[in-house]
Amino acid sequence: NYISQMSGYLPDGRLANDKPQSAYIRSSKDESMLDRKRLELESARKQEILRLENERTLELIRKEKESSSSLLAQAELKLQKVEGDVRDMANREKEIKARFDLAEEKLSHREYELEQREAAVKTAEELASRFAKREEEVWNKENELKGREENIRKAEELIAQARADAEALRTASRDRSQKISQRSRAWDEQRTNDLQQLADQRRALDERTHRLQAELAEREAALSVKEQKLRVDAEQLHASRAGAAQNEERARALASSDLNRIQADISRATKELEVLATQKEQHTAKLTDLVRQVDEMDRKLRQLSNAEADAVHAVRATESATQEALAAGHKKVESLERQRVDLTSEIASLKTRRDQLEKQLKSDKEAWEKEHKSEMETFKVQRQSARAELDRVRGEVTLLMEQQEARARALDEWAEAEDERLRTARQRLQAQE
């Protein structure tokens, strides 16, 4: 509107002093000239608007760029500060590590001195430990011998038990043999009695036959009856003889069965005796081996006794030499004793000092690790915050640039469209002229 008023035209394209009742604008040429001027003025106005819009857009872009640059600079400063803090922490960590290494070196030197002095004390302690070790070996050997004696005793008990079992089996076998003999005698007596009864019955039958034959001549009339009676008696006698024979066969079968069973028992008992004899031989072999081991242990025990006697003799000789040395240099021994006491006291002091240094180093290390961990966590949080802030600023700048570019593209497209419309209008006017 301002541009239109300055150029003498109204916003709708009419002149400011143009009156509706004017009679001057009637020809088509004047209208074309007016349209051309109006188009030119409108084009100039739009170009001025576009220029102002572009200037305002450029100013906004410049301000946003300055703001973005300021934010980027602040983020870079924060990042540099964080990196400087990291370098400071690294330098501090190096200093603490150097102090820790120096303390460890001092402690190692102290430990080396302590080890040298402890070695001198251990040399004296080894002499006492050797004798104690030898006594322990002798004690272990005695326990081992006692264990083997116990094994021998158990083996002898097993052998005695096996012998008792074998004797019990022999006794049982003898009892069974006696029972079999008694049964056999009883069967023989029963058989003899049966045979005696049969013989008596036969003699009685013979006597009766003779008596009947003697009476045959006298009693011929009753011969048939008597013969029938004799035939019946003969049949009964034959039946009794057959029963006696069957009883005898049955008794023989029973006796044979008992005899077979007894023989089987005897065979089984014989096998058991053979197994017991084999076990006895095995136990005898084990006993022989145990006796051999006992002899070997006795030999080793004698060797140990001889070695112990030699050691006792050496100890006594050493004690004698020591007594002589003590008698010859009592003051020197007292000096060495004082040195030993001082050395022991110094070793205890060094141990206490070492423990204190270790506790102090441990405490310093824990404090340093805790402080280092806290500083690293703080640094990590600060770095993450700085990174997030930097990413946020970059994202805002990128979004702002994209928005400005989109706005510039829209203005360019609008300007091109206006230029195209103006060119079309000019071409239309030129065509009308």
- pLDDT per residue as tens digits for the range 69-122: 676 666 567 667 756 665 776 676 677 667 667 766 766 776 677 677 667 667
Give the number of domains in the chain: 1
Backbone angles phi and psi of 255, in degrees to 5: -65, -40
> Which residue has better confidence, 395 or 67?
395
**149 lies in a domain?**
no
Secondary structure of residue 314 in the 3-state scheme: helix
CA distance 129 to 256: 82
Whether the per-residue pLDDT at 45 is higher than 70: the answer is: yes
Whether the per-residue pLDDT at 398 is higher than 70: the answer is: yes
Secondary structure of residue 18 in the 3-state scheme: coil
**What is the span of the domain harbouring residue 67?**
2-16+26-81+370-432
Say what percent of the chain tops pLDDT 70: 30
Strand ranges inside 101-241, DSSP E: none
Query: Residue 59 — pLDDT band, cuts 50, 70, 90?
Result: confident
Whether the per-residue pLDDT at 332 is higher than 70: the answer is: no
**75 lies in a domain?**
yes
Query: Residue 383 — pLDDT band, cuts 50, 70, 90?
Result: low
What pTM value is reported for the model? 0.28
For residue 9, list its beta bridge partners.
15
* Angle subtended at Cα 53 by Cα 47 and Cα 54, rounded to the nearest 5 degrees: 90
**258 lies in a domain?**
no
Rg of the Cα trace of the chain?
71
Of the spans 123-132, 316-325, 387-396, which averages the highest pLDDT? 387-396
**422 lies in a domain?**
yes
**425 lies in a domain?**
yes
Burial of 9 (0-12, 13-18, 19+ CB in 10 A): buried
Of residues 318, 312, 322, 316, the one with CA closest to residue 134 = 312
Q: Are 404 and 61 in contact (CB under 8 A)?
A: yes
**11 lies in a domain?**
yes
Query: Residue 310 — pLDDT band, cuts 50, 70, 90?
Result: low
Q: Are 85 and 385 in contact (CB under 8 A)?
A: no
Average pLDDT, the chain: 65
For residue 15, list its beta bridge partners.
9
Burial of 82 (0-12, 13-18, 19+ CB in 10 A): buried
* pLDDT value of position 15: 42
Express each pLDDT in 209-253 by its tens digit. Answer: 566 556 555 655 555 565 566 566 656 655 655 555 565 566 556
Express each pLDDT in 16-25 by its tens digit. Answer: 444 444 444 4
Whether the per-residue pLDDT at 29 is higher than 50: the answer is: yes
CA distance 352 to 362: 15
**213 lies in a domain?**
no
**225 lies in a domain?**
no
* pLDDT value of position 301: 57
